[in-house]
Chains A and B, each alone.
Chain A
């Protein structure tokens, strides 16, 4: 039971990291808390579903279109909405949340609810690992999360665009003096964040089904992980995903399923009380030291 719980906790960790990584990337670079993130995740899932089931497009083509479409949408949101209110945190939150709300409510309004709205699994095979059955989809999630995090590290440390991302994240004004276009990088960060949301949906949605309500859950989970880890810190996201992922599964197994949510919320509360910037966040570090 312990090994099984640990394996499923690792998978839960991967799911949480996948859900949060796009949100975190956008915030870490452009400073924009994209509250439309959950809706963009769901939008990608519905788009893939629609292209496969209504337009009969091949799976890979549908996925490519959805990911690219999401990226374009992210860039458009930045160009036509966020650019004008950049730096006004409350306005950014209200604007992006409004966009997210509109997307999710539109799906509800047009009746896109039901159990048939789901995405196909990559393979329906299951494997026995250390005496525990685990399906291929979950193994794929864990593998993809690891590859994605490593890929992001390579991207931000060894590519010119990635280095520009880090430059903006560290000090936007200094980055500007080096000729880095902060608006272009900002648009790119929202765009890539939206693309990552689509990829997360592609891997996670086949475990359940697509519903507008799921968009709010994804946003809340991404926020929780990012707040615990420290907004903008990729290492923090990974660490927080481990904490919440393990806390949820071990609570479920050894304490009781109805305590799962309470333990997660308690983890957020404790971390914020001890370290208001989050585990690896630097936002209020100076104030905390003083």
Chain B
């Protein structure tokens, strides 16, 4: 009996020893996708979940056709922490380089949060010739670099909204507010980071100055700020009718709470990340009625029957992870990026970076955000109709805790309504 047991044990050990190379072989055969992001932040956490969902769906269908064989996707992630206040850009870049060198990914998805980190990281990506489909960082300066040196930076793509397109959406919303209610006095409050600074600067120049609005105040807050009382007192004192917030830090939720508690008589309309998802109603004790938020991409914490894939994505995400998407930026682009990559690999028939990049540029796909195509700066084109371009969605919170898409017109389910206590100026 003892001899028999000993034999079985030996057999098991030998089997295990032989299985190790087999497992490694499976790992070596799969297509590694690197996800360097700030997983300690909601957008990073949910973007990674969206990537995993897309990978699971593709693998369930048998994987990706690479030439004559099918290969499975495999996700490797690293927390580069660049979204956290005080984390220097070089530290984030170390994480980026580490995942490229250690995991040898075929492509990177999501990427840095901060445009400062993306700009600095572009040279690393060019050096290692690893395609990146960025889904969070928004400064259009990266596109400028790509246009200037297209051969060097051809590996960098962006599938999320950029600051220029965000301005287009915010300006459209402001024009709507002006037309409906006659408001013309705005107070701008933005986070002191590249994309938000640029957004505030461009919208002032291209819209407010030209459309006759008066910018009665403008504040830039360091990341991590959690007291906005001074600016809110100024909003009241200067008679601003609209507050335009541009923040993606978690502490910006304090602004919403203070706007409420200080009973500031101005419409909150812009982008505050904690206002994007359905959970905001509970988070802010059901006191956000009337607040308007631009969810950067269709599918990121908002879906519409007019873009069927966004509904399917929202349902699949909730089913897989047991909770709805709460982040209004980067989630649907992260999901879509995996499909874009899979299609580019299949068209290229190889895992060669140059071949994949060449095919990515030819992308034309009906996706979660609408129709997805890249421009010459490798930026997905966002406009106002999901049939011809990708779209964002401006939502307004209703009294019953639901959200209505109010802009753009092509996907709007209703118009903007003034919250109780606010009166139109015309």
* A contact set with B: CB distance below 8 Å: 1, 4-5, 8, 12, 108, 111, 113-116, 118, 120-121, 124, 126, 132-135, 137-138, 207-209, 211-213, 216-217, 248-249, 252-253, 256-258, 260-261
- Contact yes or no, A115 B253, CB < 8 A: yes
Among residues of A, the one whose C-beta sits closest to the C-beta of B254 is: A208
- Contact yes or no, A209 B283, CB < 8 A: yes
Could you show 8 A-B contacts with beta carbons less than 8 Å apart? A115-B279, A115-B280, A118-B253, A135-B262, A208-B254, A217-B85, A257-B230, A258-B221
Partner of A114, one of B225, B257, B326: B326
Partner of A5, one of B226, B230, B251, B277: B230
Most buried by B among A113, A124, A138: A113
Instruction: Indicate if B41 sits at the interface (CB-CB under 8 A).
Output: yes
* A121 to B258 CA separation, bound complex (whole angstroms): 12
- Contact yes or no, B221 A111, CB < 8 A: no
* A249 to B254 CA separation, bound complex (whole angstroms): 16
- Contact yes or no, B225 A260, CB < 8 A: yes
* A4 to B227 CA separation, bound complex (whole angstroms): 13
B residues in contact with A113, CB < 8 Å: 40-42, 45, 250
- Contact yes or no, B45 A114, CB < 8 A: yes
- Contact yes or no, B233 A4, CB < 8 A: yes
Known: A1-B234, A114-B279, A209-B253. Is A257-B225 also a contact (CB below 8 A)?
Answer: yes
A residues in contact with B220, CB < 8 Å: 256-258
Most buried by B among A118, A120, A132: A118
- Contact yes or no, B250 A209, CB < 8 A: yes
Partner of B86, one of A135, A137, A216: A216
- Contact yes or no, A211 B250, CB < 8 A: yes
B192 CB → nearest A CB, Å: 5
List 15 extra interface pairs beyond A1-B234, A4-B233, A207-B257, CB under 8 A: A5-B230, A5-B233, A108-B40, A108-B79, A114-B42, A114-B279, A115-B274, A116-B326, A120-B285, A133-B263, A135-B261, A207-B226, A208-B250, A209-B274, A249-B230
A176 CB → nearest B CB, Å: 41
* B contact set with A: CB distance below 8 Å: 39-42, 45, 79, 84-86, 192, 219-222, 224-227, 229-231, 233-234, 237, 250-251, 253-254, 257-258, 261-263, 273-274, 277, 279-280, 282-283, 285, 287, 326
- Contact yes or no, B253 A261, CB < 8 A: no
Most buried by A among B233, B251, B282: B233
B residues in contact with A5, CB < 8 Å: 230, 233
B375 CB → nearest A CB, Å: 33
B residues in contact with A256, CB < 8 Å: 219-220
* A278 to B261 CA separation, bound complex (whole angstroms): 36
Partner of A213, one of B40, B225, B287: B40
B residues in contact with A108, CB < 8 Å: 39-40, 79
Known: A115-B250, A212-B40. Is A8-B326 also a contact (CB below 8 A)?
Answer: no
- Contact yes or no, B274 A133, CB < 8 A: no
- Contact yes or no, B229 A207, CB < 8 A: no
- Contact yes or no, A208 B226, CB < 8 A: yes
* A118 to B274 CA separation, bound complex (whole angstroms): 12
Most buried by B among A111, A121, A126, A213: A213
Partner of A133, one of B237, B261, B285: B261
- Contact yes or no, B253 A257, CB < 8 A: no
* A12 to B42 CA separation, bound complex (whole angstroms): 27
**Shortest beta-carbon contacts, A-B, top 6:** A135-B261, A115-B274, A252-B230, A108-B40, A253-B230, A133-B262
* A261 to B221 CA separation, bound complex (whole angstroms): 10
- Contact yes or no, A213 B84, CB < 8 A: yes
A270 CB → nearest B CB, Å: 20
